[in-house]
Amino acid sequence: MPNNGKNSTQISNEQKDYKPVPSQSKETKQPHLIFDDFNIDVAIKVLSATLFSPFFVIFLPAPLLTQTSSTHPAFIFTCIWTCLICLIGIWNHIDRIYNSGGSWLLAPKKLNWNKQIVLITGGGSGIGALLAETLAARNISVVVLTKYRPQFETKQDSIYTYICDVSDYKNVQAVAQHIREEVGDPTIIVNNAGVVKGKLLLDLTEDDITDTFGSNTLANFWVLKAFLPALLRKGEGHIVTVSSLLGVVGAAQMTDYCASKAALINLNQSLRFELDNRYETPNIRTTILLPSFIQTSLFSKIKLPTEQSKIFKFFCPDLEPHSIVKVIIDNLESRESKIIRLPFYTNASRFINDFVGITPNWLKDFVQHVSGADHAMVDYGPKPDAAERLIAEREKQKGE
């Protein structure tokens, strides 16, 4: 285990003894009605604990029978509903047991945080920084890899910061050696680093594409190659991959981002098969997150219909960084391999993506239009962009 201390070791001596904290928004939220935060995700949570919960519906038929006969349609429907929910509950329970290696009756053993060293890439800001601070507040050892010098300083003694370009294989290998010697072998890896260019395909430069795939995709490979061997020797651990909804369904002005995040989905699945069937280490868990747009600096200029439509905001609520952090920590504590989709509406991507191919094109195009995804990044990239230049050229040709 590492020795906790104020000083963090970094590759650059010039930046030694410097550690980050997550940025704090200068804006203060104004008081609002509680109903302003009511959305479909809240409704689903309530229903999951009541009408869709086996432990709730199993008690419905008996009291109903005292008020009516066994042949009454309401009683018959209640019995059918109870059986259906219980069957789904058993199905989900089997899946949880399989993914966590638990027993039929007992929950899997909770994670012992005192023995964990958590490595977080992209931990200098946004979700990574918030996750690091949250874990460090529990006195958990956290190793943060960040490309740039963090803008804010943290007072947490259990955060160890290393300046590292995770898209550079040699840089990752060099930093990994320092981490092993000074902190220890990470037992949990959170691959969170990522960049967004927000340009149309023809506006992307070679450097843009290389940087996107380096940070969003290749970094995952380099970090795993550096730290996975230690997990294999121990035979347990957890690897968390932060992908995106846009790795499942595409959007205009996000070609490089979508492709880089799609690669992570197959990386996670293939790694799961390797761990189970080749390395024979099923106790190393793998989790992948497929969130929609998260309110961080990466998507600070994004434009979605949620700003104008309350109905759209109800069905497609904004995703706050703290929601992602809570889900990650809960998943680590459960020690379960999992695919996490947030918010609830992202589950629709299971059916409307081209991999499944069961949704007609007209319906996919309608959903794409309503979501506003193809125009969400209009404030990114050069002005005029490639599409605007083409339209101007066409108008000029018509004028001639």
List the 141-146 sheet strands across, edge first.
159-163, 141-146, 117-121, 188-191, 237-242, 284-291, 338-342
Please report where in the chains the tokens 């991999």 appear, as a residue: 355
| Strand, helix or coil for residue 194 | coil
Catalytic residue among 162, 257, 345, 380: 257
| Residue 18 is a catalytic residue | no
In angstroms, rounded to a whole number, what is the distance separating the alpha carbons of residues 130 and 244? 18
> Nearest CA to 347 among 339, 355, 336?
339
Q: Spell out the alpha helix ranges (H) of the chain.
A: 40-48, 54-57, 61-65, 73-100, 126-136, 169-182, 206-213, 219-234, 255-277, 310-315, 321-334, 349-352, 361-371, 386-399
Read off φ and ψ for residue 319, nearest 5 degrees. -115, 115
In angstroms, rounded to a whole number, what is the distance separating the alpha carbons of residues 188 and 66? 53
In angstroms, rounded to a whole number, what is the distance separating the alpha carbons of residues 9 and 176? 12
Cis (ω within 30 of 0) for the bond into 382? no
A 10 A CB-CB count for 80 gives 11
Question: Which residues form the catalytic set?
Answer: 257
